Structure 1
């Protein structure tokens, strides 16, 4: 297991902009970016790390990959501090970034993998076999001798995955892996990510702004806010902790908004109500209130119900509610 235990990360910033003055630590202002977080990434599981921009996700990934050292706390891999022997750590952890960075476009796909593989000290024969294996996994074996500059976006991102697997890591940190990809290619990559965890037993940390990916892929989620863990749990647990009520969505053929609100106020069951952007109406209640609502509306000629249904709250709905309450 890869885990963070009460990890902190602080920086010192200049308290004033003066390029000609030498500033010592006493002249600088301490800024806490990560504030005592605990994260666990077991093998065979996909763990999501969510948060708005500036929450601390990138700093967390950099610490997990040894690019940054924690100011306090410890990061353990199978019980051993990863910063005790960074050379060994880097052989067991790799980072796969989204977009088209971190590849040499004038080299072929195979040449890219040969270069990055050589950085891990893999012998030539072993590296050649591993490159063939990685290219087959991401279905690039027929394009391995083509310069990367001629690859499509999807091919480049698949090569990024092959690059991330070249050292056969136990843990993979995925930073926005489907960024900028079309729907079909993104779906293929999600398939590869599941395969890495469930078939190859890799421990995976995933950051993404696409919440449907989190719902589809993640076994567990950490919600990072201003350097702290705000919530954690499975996608289902987080949704239920925020939105335990039944959601009843009502679409109207015609309506008088005031009359609809009068109906809601007269219901004997406690109900929260929200007008959606499409002018439909969502009722939140601990019980199924469809019959009571339809019966109450029948007394108003100005209200015509086009459809009414129970809607399961999504992770996106729950996170929006968390951010709305917080900000």
Structure 2
């Protein structure tokens, strides 16, 4: 395994605080080489604390974590040369310097040999799509361009593992899509990545496995499909009514487990939606029988990762 975490815990205590704050509570998981592993959770759940411990910026209170066989505490100095870290909204670039100058400074800090610096800087700028902006000052960059430059900087020394802590935070939809494409290309090239995010679509698209963290502990872990399948969530069924089949919405309201019925008048028809509660016996066939229409006229929309996430977080103790 590239990353192995066992019973990792971290407490914070401040002056005058009656009790310590448990940011992490016995977290355990493994990440295989080349895997893109996602960590989801509400604000304050412990995601950034986890990334800071794994990237050797913070020591755990108890438990162990190893990356590539090196301990994050006892082998921290050796390990840092093998890790790349990007925090969302991070400030660490020099605005009045060009992209190349920023990366050259970072290359010196990372210990990249001077004979390799020019090649590596060119390679990472090409990878993140900033080769044409290599001589532009960073103060002229958009937020999305800055985030891509942060990733370029994190990749300069060819790390074994890349940590991305909410990298798309605050990006507009176009910049967020470009960032997802970049992360996907890194994943496909075999980079081991640990990603924290609040964007469920992003996690569903990119991650091979996910861990949901609530109050410092992992409450669910598995593939996105498995998590969506295990979560106790309701479903939404839709029906396009072209001929006025639904004459009384009370018929739909009376379906067992129906918690919301809505209609939308569109061009030449009415689109009906029936949202059901978790565990409801309602399915497309039942609705079709109720309306006396062919079964394929009613479409059941599968639960999304966001649906599953909300159900998991809301039901966590």
TM-score, normalization: structure 2? Answer: 0.86
User: Is 1:260 matched up with 2:252?
Assistant: yes
User: Is 1:194 matched up with 2:187?
Assistant: no
- Matched residues in 1 for 2:273 and 2:240: separation? 5
What is the CA distance between 1:184 and its match in structure 2? 2.3
Q: What corresponds to 2:163 in structure 1?
A: 173
The answer to whether the Cα contact below 8 Å between 1:246 and 1:287 also exists between their aligned partners in 2 is no
- Matched residues in 1 for 2:286 and 2:59: separation? 59
CA distance 1:155–1:61, change in 2 (3 Å): same
Match of 1:213 among 189, 197, 202: 202
What is the CA distance between 1:297 and its match in structure 2? 4.0
Deviations along 1:79-125, one digit per CA (max 9) or x if unpaired, are 23122222211111111122352211111101111111111222211
Q: What corresponds to 1:74 in structure 2?
A: 64
Match of 2:87 among 97, 103, 115: 97
Correspondences of 1:24-103 after superposition (within 5 Å)? 29-99=19-89, 101-103=91-93
CA RMSD of superposed structures (Å): 2.6
- Matched residues in 2 for 1:192 and 1:230: separation? 29
SS at match of 2:168: coil
What is the CA distance between 1:247 and its match in structure 2? 5.1
User: Is 1:294 matched up with 2:288?
Assistant: yes
The answer to whether the Cα contact below 8 Å between 2:253 and 2:261 also exists between their aligned partners in 1 is no
The answer to whether the Cα contact below 8 Å between 1:244 and 1:286 also exists between their aligned partners in 2 is no
SS at match of 2:194: strand
The answer to whether the Cα contact below 8 Å between 2:8 and 2:60 also exists between their aligned partners in 1 is yes
For structure 1, list consecutive stretches of 5 or more residues without a partner in the other structure.
17-27, 266-271, 299-306
- Matched residues in 1 for 2:104 and 2:247: separation? 66
- Matched residues in 1 for 2:250 and 2:234: separation? 24
Deviations along 1:2-29, one digit per CA (max 9) or x if unpaired, are 121110101122336xxxxxxxxxxx63
For structure 2, list consecutive stretches of 5 or more residues without a partner in the other structure.
264-271
Q: What corresponds to 1:273 in structure 2?
A: 258
- Matched residues in 2 for 1:280 and 1:100: separation? 42
Q: What corresponds to 1:13 in structure 2?
A: 14
CA distance 1:41–1:126, change in 2 (3 Å): same
The answer to whether the Cα contact below 8 Å between 2:87 and 2:165 also exists between their aligned partners in 1 is yes
Q: What corresponds to 1:21 in structure 2?
A: none
User: Is 1:118 matched up with 2:108?
Assistant: yes
The answer to whether the Cα contact below 8 Å between 1:9 and 1:71 also exists between their aligned partners in 2 is yes
Deviations along 1:205-260, one digit per CA (max 9) or x if unpaired, are 11111110000000000000000000000000000001487753457776655443
TM-score, normalization: structure 1? Answer: 0.84
CA distance 1:260–1:287, change in 2 (3 Å): closer
User: Is 1:282 matched up with 2:283?
Assistant: no
Deviations along 1:255-299, one digit per CA (max 9) or x if unpaired, are 65544333x24xxxxxx323167783124678784343233346x
Q: What corresponds to 1:20 in structure 2?
A: none
CA distance 1:159–1:286, change in 2 (3 Å): same
- More displaced stretch, 131-140 vs 231-240: 131-140
CA distance 1:13–1:195, change in 2 (3 Å): same
